[in-house]
Chain A
Amino acid sequence: MAMVQKLQHNVTIKGTKDGLVLLLDDKCSFDLLVEELNDKLTAGSSQMLNGPVISVKVKAGNRYLTAEQEEKLLEVLKQKENLFLDHIESEVITKAEAEEMRKDAQVVTVSKVVRSGQVLDIQGDLLLIGDVNPGATVMATGNIYILGSLKGIAHCGTKGNEEAIIAASVMKPSQLRIAHHINRAPDSYPELGNEMEFAYISNEEKQIRIDRISAVHRLRPKLNSLL
């Protein structure tokens, strides 16, 4: 029986120029996988697996791995000190994860004046039709678009997306935050024309910068969903 399983190769180790790829069969039981992986890492081919640090990608196919199972795989891999787990990828996700992804991708339209002391926290992109008054905060995991004047605090990419932008018809914020970057407003705003602007993190300086809205397609081409 054991002979047959070995022949089936539930765990296939492939070498690429970026490191190792572990292809896990998605039909057999998880325990079998762990056992076989353990065997392969410790047994005959161990010579090949000793040496400089190698990054490992795990491809689980159509198998859903729970957090516990991922932990277990990591434990097995840790036996080899030169192996470094890059990531585990699976073709399947749970409904909850799918729902999260959908929420992160959606544009939430809100029409109201966000007033002092109020916090509007959105999952996904925020399209606000109205003003953000001084003392108010708007937050979104994605981008923030404000059709109105931004005088309070806007925080986009709250889950760490540095590519997120904040656009506002009238850009006079008291503070701008993108991911973990924070920028305070100048102490006074010059009386310029009301041109629509947007804030982003510049690649060169890793700092929040503001530019005219017409530059957005150049700086954030991925925003464009019309190809």
Chain B
Amino acid sequence: MGEAIVITSGKGGVGKTTTSANLGTALALSGKKVCLVDTDIGLRNLDVLMGLENRIIYDLVDVAEERCKLKQALIKDKRFECLYLLPAAQTKDKSSITPEQVKKIVQELKQDYDYVIIDCPAGIEQGFKNAIAGADKSIVVTNPETASMRDADRIIGLLEQEDMEPPKLIVNRLRNHLAKNGDMLDVDEIVSVLSIELLGVVIDDENVIKAANKGEPVALQPDSKASIAYRNIARRILGESVPLLSLEEDKGFFGKIKTLLGMK
């Protein structure tokens, strides 16, 4: 029996889908059986990030309405034997499925997979309720900016009312030089306001965008900063204690970027 983790944020565009894709990939890299579930019905993206868009035949709504078997809708990843995707429907909307249906599907998936990663849509309405229905754990993604943090706070409040473990936090798209100058919220400040456990910090890395456009999660790259961050988060989910990347290292990284830019 595996566990279901929902990736959510409240605000749109903070990197829920990217996080889902990369955590799924990183967990699969560690040899776990992983199933990604996209619950963003009508605005699905997870399949695109994974490069699996053109393999979709059946989707989540088809499974919920029993037009196909669950196994028929699952798409095996190109790269990993142990990574699967259950895509969302693109032609329907959030109300075409109920939390009970999602819960049933997730329960079924948990029998076969070590981790079921549920990608949640933005907002706190039906789509959110669907996504969290079957989850045992939750991860809240936020960006180091006030609006995103406010929404994360709201979402944490809603998650705390649910019957699941306290949510954990990923700070995504941190630009360290801005945070240091005080132009951006720093991680300590975010954690002190949201007061939940920090699972990891992902630096704003252009490799993420490049990889996404190619349909290959950045976690597959051996040495990019974001990829290391995602793999570290996956290791923390697996129960290892991995220290956060220190600020000094980050400085070195930005130093490298600067020299790279200088060379160009």
Taking residues whose C-beta sits less than 8 angstroms from the other chain, chain B's interface range is: 10 to 19
B153-166 CB mask vs A (1 if < 8 Å, else 0) is: 11011101000000
A151-171 CB mask vs B (1 if < 8 Å, else 0) is: 100000000000000000000
B102-122 CB mask vs A (1 if < 8 Å, else 0) is: 000000000000000000000
B157-A134 in contact (CB<8A): no
A116-B157 in contact (CB<8A): yes
B42 vs chain A, min Cβ distance (A):
24
Cβ-based interface call for B90 (8 A): no
- Cα distance A94–B153 when bound, in Å? 43
List the B side residues contacting A135 at CB < 8 Å.
150, 153-154
Cβ-based interface call for A113 (8 A): yes
Interface size for A (C-beta < 8 A) is 11
A94 vs chain B, min Cβ distance (A):
35
- Cα distance A51–B153 when bound, in Å? 65
- Cα distance A115–B108 when bound, in Å? 33
- Cα distance A136–B193 when bound, in Å? 12
A131-B153 in contact (CB<8A): no
Cβ-based interface call for A133 (8 A): yes
The answer to whether residues A134 and B150 also contact, given A115-B156, A116-B157, A117-B157 and a CB cut-off of 8 A, is: yes
A113-B195 in contact (CB<8A): yes
B150-A118 in contact (CB<8A): no
Q: Which secondary structure dominates where chain A touches chain B?
A: loop
Q: Find the B residue at minimum CB distance from A148.
A: B195
List the B side residues contacting A133 at CB < 8 Å.
153, 193-194
List the B side residues contacting A118 at CB < 8 Å.
157
Q: Find the A residue at minimum CB distance from B157.
A: A115
Give the residue of B154, B160, B195 whose beta carbon is less than 8 angstroms from that of A131.
B195
- Cα distance A136–B158 when bound, in Å? 13
Cβ-based interface call for B151 (8 A): yes
A12 vs chain B, min Cβ distance (A):
59
List the A side residues contacting B156 at CB < 8 Å.
115
A117-B154 in contact (CB<8A): yes
B146 vs chain A, min Cβ distance (A):
8
A116-B153 in contact (CB<8A): yes
A116-B195 in contact (CB<8A): no
- Cα distance A21–B195 when bound, in Å? 59
- Cα distance A118–B157 when bound, in Å? 7
Contacts of B126-169 to chain A: CB distance below 8 A:
150-151, 153-154, 156-158, 160
List the B side residues contacting A113 at CB < 8 Å.
195
Contacts of A90-127 to chain B: CB distance below 8 A:
113, 115-118
B182 vs chain A, min Cβ distance (A):
11
List the A side residues contacting B154 at CB < 8 Å.
115-117, 135
The residue in B153, B156, B158, B195 that gathers the most chain A C-beta atoms within 10 A of its C-beta is B153
Contacts of A195-218 to chain B: CB distance below 8 A:
none
List the B side residues contacting A151 at CB < 8 Å.
193
List the B side residues contacting A115 at CB < 8 Å.
153-154, 156-157, 160
A197 vs chain B, min Cβ distance (A):
19
A32-44 CB mask vs B (1 if < 8 Å, else 0) is: 0000000000000
Q: Find the A residue at minimum CB distance from B151.
A: A116
List the A side residues contacting B194 at CB < 8 Å.
133
A131-B193 in contact (CB<8A): yes
List the B side residues contacting A117 at CB < 8 Å.
153-154, 157-158
Known contacts A115-B157, A136-B157; 4 further A-B pairs (Cβ under 8 A): A113-B195, A115-B154, A116-B150, A117-B158
- What would 28 A/B residue contacts be, using CB atoms closer than 8 Å? A113-B195, A115-B153, A115-B154, A115-B156, A115-B157, A115-B160, A116-B150, A116-B151, A116-B153, A116-B154, A116-B157, A117-B153, A117-B157, A117-B158, A118-B157, A131-B193, A131-B195, A133-B153, A133-B193, A133-B194, A134-B150, A134-B193, A135-B150, A135-B153, A135-B154, A136-B153, A136-B157, A151-B193
Kindly list the 9 A-B residue pairs having the minimum CB-CB distance in the complex, ordered from nearest.
A115-B157, A116-B153, A116-B154, A117-B154, A115-B153, A118-B157, A133-B153, A116-B150, A113-B195
